[in-house]
Chain A
């Protein structure tokens, strides 16, 4: 039960991050590595603000804003300085590592016994009594689905249409008299804002910030997006954003199961990243469309 609860909690938190990755990877067709820096950035901002006693709700907006700034910077490097997409992400990811350390001042910030978004009077009153064990999950679900609906709404606006168009056919966007560079920057800003928001929630749920917690975020995000969009492709009733969130929960479930059975096959927790990579590879293989005609038939 505790396992299911933690899978759902973490799955939905990473789901918010995965929505950000979905924007860059699927909509913009931009492999954005900034994510590895903007996820811990949200966590760093949460850690500093919570430690200094700020209202936990404010951390959500602050981390989104900071992430959006990081995304804008990546966008400017790519669009204005004409640096390749992958490289501009790597530059920002590296820069953000220092920025995050500068924000917190140290590599590790514990957040035990602090007023976080999950542990405050409001949450205590809302989710008291029998609901108490599920309080954190309910709150995470509310925020995650709130974010999902906001994103759905945005993708249905004129501005959202352009975002979808620019990844699809950027010549078309230029023909519409719109600067495709600007559209990309906006997309990267929203994407990294969401990733940073995910990091902010993660730090408060885990009650710590660690400067190295961003490593591998992009892999988790990509795995979630690919599971969500490929394996759940048949479920046409689901919106893509919902599938991405579901993909994130599924991925977390896989990792949790892998962790549980790692001990059986004598693997240790230091092997986690390797297990994660192998898992990701299997997901990619499973998601590949079966070729109807053999290549050399």
Chain B
């Protein structure tokens, strides 16, 4: 077919994505080739039809007003219970950040230490939000299973890394399931465990997925003013976070199981 080369790139041409020099050649060809001209016309009509049909939905006046009010009064959101929990956690964490920062200055710690502390608290506040949000959800996990051999393969193809889940026999911990999550726009795994009716979240991300300003040092449960105990560490290129309202010993126990399995 004579026009094979042209037709192959016709959509790219109509999207305005071929180089300018090629664009001029295309213009000239389409003007002189009835077959390509007809094809181009059809595709342009289809593009326009999709554009019109695609602008199909508009937000309701109530929703628009609700969003405008939220944007105008960001600190005083009127939200669902789950969001209120998340907001409460964020407020508590923000207070902890301020307190930590203030105490840091008072004790003449260096700027680097303050920055590191602020980064750590920022990340942990995001982690706490994810934890609270998830538990407040009516469907906290997307793969529901107590079997690590079911939960681990579920993440295959969904996140760009692999990780091990620990054997829990006689540990007191029960795996409830998992879901995908995002932190700082990086995909990760979120696992939920139960211990003595307390829920613990374990988050796993690629260490290199964090921007340089989110680099963390390894440490455990030092956020004493929070309702959560936490532990975070890096191992084999992965960054782990364990968070929950269980005791510090339970958080540490689960962290140790993960460390041993990795």
Is B one of A's binding partners? no
Chain A residues at the B interface, C-beta cutoff of 8 Å: none
